[in-house]
Chains A and B, each alone.
Chain A
């Protein structure tokens, strides 16, 4: 048994994550289990990894996270019985939107021609037209024709009535071009305001 203060051949974080996800072969899984059952250091690493996973799940469950997601993920959220509010916006379009106390997730679906795009950036624009925040190289599926993203629900609930603008940019080695600009006309939930 190896329970010294430092393990001589610690299990890599990738191996521990693969183990947690069930990606290892049966032989590698057995090796990993026999190792950490005999190793204080590696069992602590695995413990931290599991704690991270749990922490992320809790964060998403409580407030959501700002992230680009997939259609599949959006469908899985709804299939789990979560309240998912989704706003679809065509290219250069706008939508009136809000967030209610019952919402678990609020998604924006920005339609865009993504066929030839290699790198896609998403830019938040302030009321003066200046870049407020730029998300570089966001994940997207060209054939889906849209980018779906989730916004922290606590941040949305704290917003006053306002217009939020987002721009999608096709970035190439020689420059960038705007694929579309999208406006969310946000109004706080009247029920929430009266509470």
Chain B
């Protein structure tokens, strides 16, 4: 049957429910689709907390496996709370990754890597375009953004380094980021 304009893909909660209801059987399509959607988000969580691409990929892999395992076991009582459910797993796995690798080995032994998405495409801004956009920024915005991104400096730390107020740094950073982002994505020709 062809899709009509009113048909929407199932939301994440509906997919989670399908995974849970299929147990003890397996709804491969629902599991795959759920992992395809959530894995990139979990990777971002991993990058934020672990700061290393390989570690973020490890986290993503483990969280997906644990999520499916728990969904099959009926551990998610309210599918609308799937984000909180995944968030809880992320926290546990980050702690695990910092302590060791025990849970990962058990999960991989049980499930293999069938559920784990292949390496995710990572967006990479065109470097020539990015260089051009940086050149077009006002001087203060360029310095603030470059120090922010290169050294991951907070507004407070930058304020001390540049003899500016923290509020001033935030304003410069906000305006600079808007201009840079719009220039890189082509929203403006600035």
Provide the bound-state CA to CA distance between A153 and B98, in Å.
39
Counting chain A CB atoms within 10 Å of each CB, the highest count among B12, B139, B142, B180 belongs to B139
Chain A: which residue is nearest B82 at the CB level?
A1
B28 within 8 A of A: no
Provide the bound-state CA to CA distance between A20 and B151, in Å.
12
Provide the bound-state CA to CA distance between A30 and B138, in Å.
34
Residues in chain B near residue A164, CB distance under 8 A: none
Provide the bound-state CA to CA distance between A142 and B162, in Å.
10
Residues in chain A near residue B151, CB distance under 8 A: 73, 76
Report whether A65 and B124 are in contact in the complex, using a CB–CB cutoff of 8 Å. Answer: no
A182 within 8 A of B: no
Which of A84-92, A93-101, A132-140, A166-174 contacts the other chain?
A132-140
Residues in chain B near residue A136, CB distance under 8 A: 138-139
In-complex Cβ contact of A137 among B83, B138, B173 (8 A): B138
A156 within 8 A of B: no
Binding site for A on B (CB under 8 A): 11-13, 37-38, 40-42, 44-45, 47-48, 80, 82-84, 86-87, 90, 122-125, 127, 130-131, 134-135, 138-140, 142-156, 161-164, 170, 173-174, 177-178, 180-181, 184-185
Interface CB pairs A-B, < 8 A, 5: A17-B177, A20-B48, A55-B127, A56-B145, A67-B146
